[in-house]
Amino acid sequence: MNRINQKLQEDKKLLSIYFTAGYPEINDTITVLEELEKSGVDLVEIGLPFSDPLADGPTIQASSTQALNNGMTTELLFEQLKDIRKSVTIPLIIMGYFNPMMQYGIEEFCEKCAEIGIDGLIIPDLPVKEYNEHYRVIFEKNNLINVFLITPQTSNERIRFIDEISSGFIYMVSSASVTGAQNSFGNEQSEYFERIAKMKLKSPQIIGFGISNSDTFKQATKYAKGAIIGSAFVKHLTKEGVKSIDKFIEKIR
């Protein structure tokens, strides 16, 4: 069974952390992953930096730019991760844009992910229909879960279709804006969380965008299986480097 599905079966609210590979320093990728696991994080999304990250807010965009300037590439990330399963056991997801994966070759990219022990991919700009018609067979052959995003504007019909073809969790974007930390959620977001919960989807939902502290984590996980923290953690790395990762995670739980 895929590690993501094993984790989703656990009787707990899940904390997923996003960070950009090769940030703040080019060789920090493995250290960050190992420290996150030691700190009790349940899943990690490894951001593959891209020059035009449409869904990302300024904090993550800046980290992507710095990682690219540091020399991070798809090939280097795979090289860094080649022995990751000797030290890290939690589910690992690569989050990135479709263009770099196409340049690498979709089949080759998926095969490499399977080889080094990546469990899933999040590709915000890969259309659901395109995936289902052209790439699903490649993902399934390599035991990779493709995680789809929904937003408050996603129609119920589309949500049902995403739920139908999903084999892991659904990434539930808390708002229609780009990524970024918030201190709390408003009524509109709470109503959206409730609306999705009432749909009784087969796929668990994990909420991302705007989770930054214990309060927003608890608000999000009241309605969903887990929550994802990205910008707030990247800000921590910007300020502290790879030190005190455990202290950051302690404040969330």
Annotated domain spans of the chain: 14-252
Mean residue pLDDT across the chain? 93
pLDDT value at residue 182: 53
pLDDT value at residue 210: 86
Q: What percent of the chain has pLDDT over 70?
A: 95
Q: Domain 14-252 adopts which CATH fold?
A: TIM Barrel (3.20.20)
Q: What percent of the chain has pLDDT over 90?
A: 87
Q: Identify the active-site residue in 56, 75, 83, 246.
A: 56
Q: Is the pLDDT of residue 183 over 70?
A: no
pLDDT tens digit sequence for 88-140: 999 999 999 999 999 999 999 999 999 999 999 999 999 999 999 999 999 99
Output the pTM of the full model: 0.94
Whole-angstrom distance, CA of residue 208 vs CA of residue 164: 21
Confidence of residue 150 (pLDDT cuts 50, 70, 90): very high
pLDDT tens digit sequence for 67-100: 999 999 999 999 999 999 999 999 999 999 999 9
Q: Is the pLDDT of residue 178 over 50?
A: no
Whole-angstrom distance, CA of residue 194 vs CA of residue 185: 13
pLDDT value at residue 222: 93
Q: Identify the active-site residue in 28, 42, 45, 119.
A: 45
For tokens 């084999």, name the residue: 167
pLDDT value at residue 253: 83
**CB neighbours of residue 139 within 10 Å:** 19
Which helix (H) or strand (E) segment is 120 a member of? Answer: strand 120-122
Whole-angstrom distance, CA of residue 33 vs CA of residue 246: 12
Confidence of residue 227 (pLDDT cuts 50, 70, 90): very high
pLDDT value at residue 136: 98
Active site annotation includes 125 = no
| Distance set, CA 112 to CA 73, 166, 180 (Å) | 14, 22, 30
Least confident range of 55-59, 84-88, 186-190: 55-59
For tokens 């073809």, name the residue: 165
pLDDT value at residue 95: 97
pLDDT value at residue 246: 97
> Which residue, among 8, 19, 3, has the nearest Cα to 229 in the 3D structure?
19
Q: What is the dihedral of CA 103, 109, 110, 115, to 10 degrees?
A: 180
pLDDT value at residue 180: 45
Q: Is the pLDDT of residue 54 over 80?
A: no
Q: In Å, how far from its chain's centre is CA 96?
A: 9
pLDDT value at residue 187: 84
